[in-house]
Amino acid sequence: MRILAIHNRYQIRGGEDECYEAEVSLLREMGQQVEVYEASNDRVAKLGKLRLAADTVWSGEAYQTIEHQLQKYRPDVVHVHNFFPLISPSVYYAAKRAGIPVVQTLHNYRLLCPNALFFRDGKVCEDCLGQIIPYPGVIHGCYRENKVASAGVATMLGVHRTMKTWTKW
């Protein structure tokens, strides 16, 4: 099987990075052909806040790169581990256009909650659950304790919920 694995690495290595690497390694050991597309959050500081916010919603760069990689490599499946914030959900559309199915591993609650944890102020918080635009996360500054940054994440979630990015295919 030919697999394109997609992952946005964190600045501080964590469980998602470990899981992604272990899975790619295991798949290769089992004889699968795995190509990777990676981004690193080390680039975040160089982008500027407006560019980062825009790319979080839709990265034209990632879309074009994935589109080219899909044409060249022709995988059987795209496996997305983490697209946030630099790769963006645009990669789902590149795969759809190429007719290649996508598998998404959910390492956290990012698709439902701006801080990805359903946890705020020392307790479980589900205020954004079921909201098209997760505005409670903005009001509370749930992402990085920053209302502006939370608004960027909420915008990405609201746009892609409205577009049905994760549910229509």
Taking the C-alpha atoms of residue 41 and residue 12, their distance in angstroms, rounded to an integer, is 9
Tokens of 7: 């992952």
Question: Residue 88's pLDDT is what?
Answer: 98
Q: Give tens-digit pLDDT for 111-140.
A: 999 999 999 999 999 999 999 999 999 999
Over 80: is that where the pLDDT of 169 sits?
A: no
Residue 47 to residue 39: CA distance in whole angstroms: 13
**CA–CA separation, 46 and 60 (whole Å):** 17
Q: What is the pLDDT of residue 168?
A: 83
Cα(66)–Cα(38) distance, integer angstroms: 10
- Looking from the CA of 16 toward its CB, the CA atoms found within 13 Å total 22
What is the residue-averaged pLDDT of the chain? 96
- What the chain holds in terms of domains, given with CATH numbers, is 1-107 (3.40.50.2000), 109-169 (no CATH)
Beta strands in the chain (DSSP E): 2-9, 33-40, 77-82, 102-104, 119-120, 123-124
d(C-alpha 76, C-alpha 161), whole Å: 26
Question: Residue range 51-56: average pLDDT?
Answer: 96
Q: Supply the pTM of this predicted model.
A: 0.94
**Is the confidence at residue 157, as pLDDT, over 90?**
yes
Tell me the per-residue pLDDT of 57-108, one tens digit each, with 9 for 90 and over. 999 999 999 999 999 999 999 999 999 999 999 999 999 999 999 999 999 9
